[in-house]
Each structure stands twice: as structure tokens, then as C-alpha cells.
């Protein structure tokens, strides 16, 4: 295990929020596949005494985390259409700050469904970076050819290469977010835009659910709210144009699965939804945030 510093202040001055709730010996790659069933585990969660950033501390060695992600597999099959609607909406808003639809990069692109959406929206060249090889194999051939099986790191692309860099539900998984946000700044053209979408630890749902919130999870190394998110991007030279609560579109059955309640109750509700044909799409501001930053 390694001690983490606050990613914003680079200092180790914290208060424990929750003690860890698992035995390290039991870690395997299944734990690192998002969207697995409940029984969530988490590291010890702490809050920086200076800036309020929430983070996991200590965590596994970076090499071990990366190895687990390489083996993990995230299947979004059932949700892809809704995720495309959600992320596609936020991509369209990029035009407020940067009109050029040249090159777009997605960090943590999974099977590339968002890259396909970016193409539909008119982006000429799309690129993805994704460590999970099995997820990349799921991508359609012409999208797969645009994905590097890797983690974002210096040297993958030339500096000043991209108009837009997107990252969905990934920042809070990174052991070294500073390196990634700094890379984004380097990789963007002048006036280029980052679009980041991730959990909001300051959201009503996180506050209401506390430790039972799905975001208190071993996959999350850092957890941001709108204030610490802004600070992270300003630290690396971005002008933050907007940072705010974001909605998600999910089928009702998916919202039910996310909600912390006994599995028995969940299954009963899911059966009713299915039987009565009530599994409709629902748009909700349920605990994510979106940030637009400009170089
Ligand atoms: Zn701090």
C-alpha cells in the first residue's frame, strides 16, 4: 500500500472520513470492473484539512492498479444508448467555447461508443486511450483502429494536437490526476477545450447516502466536488468556463440498481417494472458533475 498526498495541495494533512472496509488479500480484477454487483468495498477515505479534497489513502501501488485495470472488463452494452444521449448532450455544449471540430481525444474510452458519437457530431479525427484490452476488442473495427490500448502518458501524441479532450467517469479512478490534467493541457491546441464528467462528492445524493453512496468505492482514488474540480484544472493552467451538476439519462431499472437498498427489494421492483412495461428513460441530476476548461 502507498500513502497518497492531497492531489491539490501536495500535502499530507487529513482527517479520516471512513475507515477501509475490506481485506487486501481478496482484491482481484473483478473488483475493478465497474458496474459489478453491490457489496462495495472502499479504501480508507480521508478529507484534506487544507482544501477539502476527498481521497482514498493509502491505496494499492500504481502498477498493481494499472494491472487490475488491464484485466478488467467493462460491459456497458445495456446502457450504451443512454450514455451516448447523456455524453452526446455535453459534447454539443463544447461549441460554446471552441467551434473547431478537428481532432478529439477520449481518455478511458472503453469500447469507443462515445468516439462513434463524436464522429456523428462531425469530429473529423477521433482518438481513444483505454487500458482494458477486452473492452477495446468490443469496439467496431473502424473505431478500434483509433484506440490505443494504453494509459494516457507523455509521448503518446504530439503537443498541441487536439481541439477537444474528453474524459467520462475516469478522473476519479486515477492515482495521479495531476499527471493526466497536465498532459491534457499540453496535448490541446491553444483555445482547445477539455470536457470532464465524473462523480460529484458534493451532490445531494452523496450527502444523503453518506457511506452507502455508490461513489464511496475502492475504484475511486480521489472524489471531487465543483470547487475542488475547478481548483484541479486551474492548478494546471486551464481557464474553467463552467463546472456544474450534470444529469444522466438511464432506464428506470438502472436507477433502481444504483440505489442502495436490499437486493430482495430491488429484484421485486425490477420485476414489476418489467412486467408492466414501465422501464422508461429517466433524466436525473443524481450526483455527477461536468467541467469545461479552456487552454
Ligand atoms: Zn488539499
What is the pLDDT at residue 74? 60
What is the pLDDT at residue 28? 61
Going from the Cα of 236 to the center of ligand 1, the distance in angstroms, rounded, reads 15
Going from the Cα of 242 to the center of ligand 1, the distance in angstroms, rounded, reads 21
- Flag whether pLDDT at 260 surpasses 80: no
pTM value is 0.87
Measure the CA–CA gap between 118 and 95, rounded to whole angstroms.
Answer: 12
Going from the Cα of 206 to the center of ligand 1, the distance in angstroms, rounded, reads 20
Ion ligand 1, residue ranges at CB < 5 A: 6, 8-9, 48, 50-51, 53
| Integer angstrom CA distances of residue 267 from 62, 261, 263 | 37, 10, 6
More confident residue, 214 or 3: 3
Going from the Cα of 47 to the center of ligand 1, the distance in angstroms, rounded, reads 8
- Flag whether pLDDT at 4 surpasses 60: yes
Measure the CA–CA gap between 293 and 295, rounded to whole angstroms.
Answer: 7
In a domain, 80, yes or no: yes
What is the pLDDT at residue 107? 97
Going from the Cα of 171 to the center of ligand 1, the distance in angstroms, rounded, reads 16
Tell me the pLDDT of the chain averaged across its residues.
89
In a domain, 4, yes or no: no
What is the pLDDT at residue 77? 60
In a domain, 231, yes or no: yes
Measure the CA–CA gap between 244 and 205, rounded to whole angstroms.
Answer: 15
Going from the Cα of 6 to the center of ligand 1, the distance in angstroms, rounded, reads 5
What is the pLDDT at residue 154? 87
Measure the CA–CA gap between 224 and 55, rounded to whole angstroms.
Answer: 9
CA-nearest of 96, 17, 93, 100 to 53 is: 17
Return the top range by mean pLDDT from 32-36, 57-61, 139-143. Answer: 139-143
What is the pLDDT at residue 73? 62
pLDDT tens-digit profile of 109-138?
Answer: 999 999 999 999 999 999 999 999 988 998
Measure the CA–CA gap between 50 and 11, rounded to whole angstroms.
Answer: 9
What would the mean pLDDT of 30-39 be, rounded to a whole number?
53
Q: How many domains does the chain have?
A: 1
What would the mean pLDDT of 29-56 be, rounded to a whole number?
77
Nearest 10 degrees: Cα torsion 208, 79, 41, 110: -130
Query: Domain holding 99: CATH number?
Result: 3.40.50.150
What is the pLDDT at residue 149? 95
Half-sphere exposure (Cβ direction) of 157: Cα atoms closer than 13 Å:
28
Going from the Cα of 8 to the center of ligand 1, the distance in angstroms, rounded, reads 5
In a domain, 263, yes or no: no
pLDDT tens-digit profile of 180-236?
Answer: 999 999 999 999 999 999 999 999 888 888 888 888 888 899 999 999 999 999 999
In a domain, 92, yes or no: yes
Going from the Cα of 10 to the center of ligand 1, the distance in angstroms, rounded, reads 7
Q: Name the band, by pLDDT with cuts 50, 70 and 90, for residue 31.
A: low
What is the pLDDT at residue 158? 97
Going from the Cα of 193 to the center of ligand 1, the distance in angstroms, rounded, reads 25
Opening angle at CA 85, ends 83 and 87, nearest 5: 65
148 Cβ neighbours under 8 A, 6+ residues apart: 127, 128, 129, 130, 156
| Integer angstrom CA distances of residue 172 from 74, 217, 221 | 16, 10, 6
CA-nearest of 165, 193, 182, 186 to 105 is: 165
In a domain, 268, yes or no: no
Measure the CA–CA gap between 122 and 203, rounded to whole angstroms.
Answer: 33
Measure the CA–CA gap between 235 and 258, rounded to whole angstroms.
Answer: 33
Going from the Cα of 55 to the center of ligand 1, the distance in angstroms, rounded, reads 10
- Flag whether pLDDT at 29 surpasses 80: no
Going from the Cα of 31 to the center of ligand 1, the distance in angstroms, rounded, reads 28
Going from the Cα of 7 to the center of ligand 1, the distance in angstroms, rounded, reads 7
- Flag whether pLDDT at 283 surpasses 90: no
What is the pLDDT at residue 39? 59
In a domain, 157, yes or no: yes
Phi and psi at 268, nearest 5°, equal -65, -45
What would the mean pLDDT of 264-291 be, rounded to a whole number?
86
What is the pLDDT at residue 37? 46
User: What is the domain range of residue 137?
Assistant: 14-249+287-294
Q: Which residues pair with 289 in a beta bridge?
A: 198, 245
What would the mean pLDDT of 236-259 be, rounded to a whole number?
89
In a domain, 267, yes or no: no
Amino acid at each position: 500500500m502507498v500513502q497518497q498526498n492531497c492531489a491539490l495541495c501536495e500535502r499530507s494533512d487529513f482527517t479520516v472520513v471512513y475507515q477501509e472496509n475490506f481485506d487486501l488479500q481478496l482484491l482481484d480484477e473483478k473488483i475493478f470492473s465497474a458496474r459489478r454487483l453491490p457489496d462495495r468495498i472502499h479504501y480508507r477515505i480521508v478529507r484534506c484539512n487544507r482544501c477539502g479534497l476527498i481521497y482514498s489513502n493509502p491505496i494499492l501501488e500504481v502498477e498493481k492498479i494499472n494491472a487490475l485495470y488491464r484485466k478488467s472488463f467493462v460491459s456497458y452494452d445495456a446502457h450504451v444508448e443512454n450514455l451516448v444521449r447523456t455524453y452526446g448532450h455535453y459534447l454539443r455544449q463544447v461549441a460554446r467555447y471552441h467551434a473547431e471540430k478537428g481532432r478529439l481525444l477520449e481518455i478511458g474510452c472503453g469500447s469507443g461508443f462515445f468516439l462513434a458519437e463524436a464522429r456523428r457530431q462531425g469530429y473529423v479525427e477521433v482518438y481513444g486511450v483505454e487500458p482494458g484490452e477486452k473492452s477495446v476488442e468490443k469496439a467496431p473495427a473502424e473505431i478500434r483502429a483509433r484506440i490505443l490500448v494504453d494509459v494516457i502518458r507523455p509521448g503518446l501524441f504530439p503537443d498541441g494536437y487536439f481541439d477537444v479532450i474528453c474524459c467520462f467517469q475516469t478522473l476519479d479512478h486515477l492515482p495521479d490526476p495531476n499527471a493526466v490534467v497536465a498532459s491534457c493541457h499540453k496535448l490541446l491546441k491553444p483555445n482547445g477545450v477539455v470536457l470532464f464528467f465524473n462523480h460529484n462528492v458534493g451532490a445531494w445524493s452523496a450527502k444523503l447516502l453518506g457511506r452507502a453512496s455508490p461513489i464511496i468505492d475502492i475504484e475511486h482514488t480521489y472524489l471531487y466536488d465543483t470547487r475542488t474540480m475547478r481548483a484541479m484544472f486551474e492548478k494546471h493552467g486551464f481557464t474553467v468556463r463552467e463546472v456544474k451538476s450534470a444529469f444522466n439519462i438511464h432506464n428506470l431499472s438502472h436507477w433502481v440498481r444504483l440505489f442502495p437498498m436490499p437486493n430482495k427489494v430491488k429484484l421485486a421492483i425490477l420485476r414489476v417494472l418489467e412486467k408492466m412495461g414501465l422501464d422508461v428513460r429517466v433524466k436525473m441530476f443524481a450526483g455527477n458533475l461536468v467541467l469545461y476548461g479552456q487552454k
